[in-house]
Amino acid sequence: RLYVIDGGVLGSEPARYRLTDADVEEVSLSIASFLVVHPRGVLMWDAGAVADHERSGGAGYRQRLVRRDNQERFVELAPTLTSQLAAAGYEPSDVTHLALSHYHWDHTADANLFAGAEWLVPKKEHDAMFSANPPGGTRPETYSALKNARTTLLTASEHDVFGDGTVVIREASGHTEGHAVLYVKLAKTGGVVLTGDLYHYPAERTLNRLPTFEVSEAETAAARAELERFLTRSGAQLWIQHDLAAHRKLKKAPEYYD
């Protein structure tokens, strides 16, 4: 089963992605996390933008956050992550595996809730997150508990989470040092690739535009090309996690895809 967790709406500026407002269907971006329930375990993929304990209001409240580089961002809140998990019948302690597409603040907010799980993280990403000078797009306090989590450092281009090819973390570096995407193969829905931030807007894909703040534009371009080849081979769907128009159409927890 694949549950979609709504993390709210992030204020955005298409110019940061070398796009104009006219290029995009929605200027704002969705925030999403996903719970993958497999017979051999439960994987949490990404952890939202505003930690449950930091919230200053309920759903619909416009919350201000400050990144490590002192840039401010605004998020329109959805219901809490823990309440959405509970609606689906799960608690953070039920999660056996945690994987983050990357270290940016809008993907790590509630990561500390899952410090009891096995953290699957590319070594390059782990090293950047816990360096003496973490990247500006982070909020290190949101993932600090992971420093002592059971950790599997990933160095291969693919990691088969449960050993049967149905849940696979795929390297897609460039946006950050160890950025990754997740492939989930479902019996009825078929294959789905969750993009992390490999794309933010569909127009990045159709117009071949790159964000202005990649760690490596060349690596992102190569990762996109490799993913396109994988989509052709596998026939998987591409779910752009930040695509607000598409996100609104997805079933949200407690409904699920199987």
User: How does DSSP assign 214-242, residue by residue?
Assistant: -S-HHHHHHHHHHHHHHHHHH--EEE-TT
Question: 173 with 186: CB under 8 angstroms?
Answer: no
pLDDT reported for residue 194: 98
Q: What is the mean pLDDT of residues 232-240?
A: 98
Percent of the chain with pLDDT over 70: 100
Residue 75 binned pLDDT confidence (cut-offs 50, 70, 90): very high
Chain segment 122-144, per-residue pLDDT in tens: 999 999 999 999 999 999 999 99
Which tokens belong to 155? 């160095």
Rounded CA separation 37/29 (Å): 26
Q: Kindly give the residue spans of alpha helices, DSSP state H, lying in 56-197.
A: 81-87, 123-129
Chain segment 158-214, per-residue pLDDT in tens: 999 999 999 999 999 999 999 999 999 999 999 999 999 999 999 999 999 999 999
Q: Enter the pTM of the model.
A: 0.96
- Please provide the average confidence, as pLDDT, over all residues in the chain: 98
Q: What is the DSSP string of 193-213?
A: EE-TTS-SSHHHHHHT---TT
Chain segment 21-70, per-residue pLDDT in tens: 999 999 999 999 999 999 999 999 999 999 999 999 999 999 999 999 99
Which tokens belong to 105? 């603040």
3-state SS class at 105? helix
